[in-house]
Amino acid sequence: ALADFPHDFLWGASTSAYQYEGAYNEDGKGLSVQDVATPPAGTANFQLTSDGYHRYPEDFALFGEMGMKSYRFSIAWTRIFPNGTGEVNQAGLDYYQHVLDELKKYHIEPVATLFHFDLPAALQKQGGWANRATIEAFVNYAKVVLDHFSPQITYYQTINEQNMLFQGAVFAAFKGHGTFKDAVQANHNMFVAAAKVITYAHENHPEIKIGPAPNLVAIYPLTARPGDVLAANTYDSIRNLLFGDVTILGRYNHVAWHLFEQFHAAPDLAPDDMATIAAAHPDLLYFNYYNSETVRAADSSDMLPFKKVLNPFINQNEFGWDIDPEGFRVTLRQLYDRYNLPMIITENGLGAHDTLTDDGQVHDPYRIKYLNDHIYQMRLAIGEGIPVIGYHPWSAIDLVSTHQGFVKRYGFIYVDRGEENDSGTLKRYKKDSFAWYKDVIAHNGDN
């Protein structure tokens, strides 16, 4: 028989500040790197988004109606410290207090991310994460947040998808923007910053359960040829395991370190860095899972010792991402064996072109199928004894995709944005998946 989900399982859903809030320059907020980025032609920018900054009471009422037990969101650093450092902007702290008050009305547990892709632009100008001054700026910001909201928030993630930030910086370096060494150094500095925040949380607020939130995928070799298997092993060590290894085990894995050395890009370590990292002990592994990836051995034209390829046995979504629920269980097993920590899923979901019908409906059976299949695999994993304690589909409500505006939607709630770059009515509509997820939660996953 299938195992039951724990009675206090956190059935939630997810957003991030810069993709959901809008109000990019209101109430003293400073500009983040997202606010000053130019989106691809024809896609929405991050200035208005879903206008969650103003509409959260209406949205949270819908979250309450869905029965959500938890809500994973991020705090915008630039609302608290407009320039990354300096004076606290009280209006920013007040805003998130209102958010917490509103969640409380519906008994929704907050699951907060301290940093989700929205570095203060002022810090980026001074080198961003590659500059060690950003470590202290982040730690200072995090301390203010942890102190201010304790004990109201128990569940915290330090950095969302540090590994995707790193990957982005590496690919940029190969195209001539920055260097591989800078990417590795920025990544190292994030490890040190997150470690300091974890240790501070534990020393000052023992109720807090804090950890990283990488994006993790199952990785397969294209064939059983040993060269392909080796390539998959290398890729897994660098793309996935590096992030749990440094943060949870307190050490760089040898595969990643060796690769950095081959590129003459090993990070500069300050004398205490590895001790700081080793002293931090995350309570939980939070992670985002969307897909699996498949690689083959590199050939002479490849920069790195693996090459991403299509998996002929797996279907892709309309944006080319592999859909692989069994890969989710592979990933859960691998992570629990290696790190032995309870896990909270902070993102999982299907991006699609949704259509609003004339009578205000959105039929999204593809999303229901995707989520249902992943919940099933998670349930099998729990039955195997793997402690998954929460699940937060991306996204609670439609919001701006990282690169595709509102063309690509993930929510249980549709947001009418009209054409990409005008505002539309911003009216909210429940998708079919809304009623489906409500039912899942009501039956504690036994649907």
Task: Kindly list the residues in this chain that would bind ligand BGP in the complex (CB under 6 A).
Answer: 16, 19, 160-161, 164, 215, 288, 347, 351, 394, 401-403, 408
The CA distance from 27 to 444, in Å, is 40
Q: CA 282, CA 199: separation in Å to the nearest integer?
A: 9
Toward ligand BGP, which CB reaches closer, 136 or 318? Answer: 318
Q: How far apart are CA 428 and CA 56, in angstroms?
A: 11
* CB-CB neighbours of 432 under 10 Å: 16
- Cα–Cα dist 394/123, whole Å: 28
**Backbone dihedral angles phi then psi of residue 233, each to the nearest 5 degrees:** -65, -45
State the residue for tokens 């290398």: 234
**Minimum distance, C-beta of residue 319 to ligand BGP, in the bound complex (Å):** 7
Least distance from C-beta 145 to ligand BGP, angstroms?
Answer: 19
Sign of CA dihedral 324, 329, 332, 335: negative
Closest to ligand BGP by CB, 89 or 124: 124
Please state the closest distance from residue 404 (CB atom) to ligand BGP, in A: 6
- By beta carbon distance, the residue nearest ligand BGP is 401
CB crowding 168-182: b at 16 or more within 10 Å, else e: ebbeebeeeebbbbb
| Phi and psi based region of residue 407 (left: phi greater than 0; alpha: psi -120 to 50; beta: remaining) | alpha
Nearer CB in complex with ligand BGP: 5/156: 156
| Least distance (Å) between residue 414 CB and ligand BGP | 16
Judged by beta carbon, residue 247 or residue 276, the one nearer ligand BGP is 247
Q: Min. distance of Cβ 409 from ligand BGP in angstroms?
A: 9
Q: In sequence order, what DSSP letters do the residues of 155-206 get, joined into one string?
A: EEEEEETHHHHHHHHHHHHHTTSS-HHHHHHHHHHHHHHHHHHHHHHHHH-T
Nearer to ligand BGP, 189 or 288 (CB): 288
Q: Is 2 helix (H, G, I), strand (E, B) or coil?
A: coil
Sign of CA dihedral 143, 240, 352, 43: positive
Considering the complex, what minimum distance in angstroms separates the CB of residue 324 from ligand BGP? 16
Reduced to 3 states (helix: H, G, I; strand: E, B; else coil), residue 35 is: coil
The two tokens of residue 261 are: 């050395």
Nearer CB in complex with ligand BGP: 215/433:
215
Q: How far is the CB of 16 from ligand BGP (least distance, A)?
A: 5
Beta carbons of 182 and 134 less than 8 angstroms apart: no
Cα separation, 122 vs 83, in Å, equals 5
- Which residues are identified as catalytic? 347
Q: Between residues 235 and 406, which has the closer beta carbon with respect to ligand BGP? A: 406
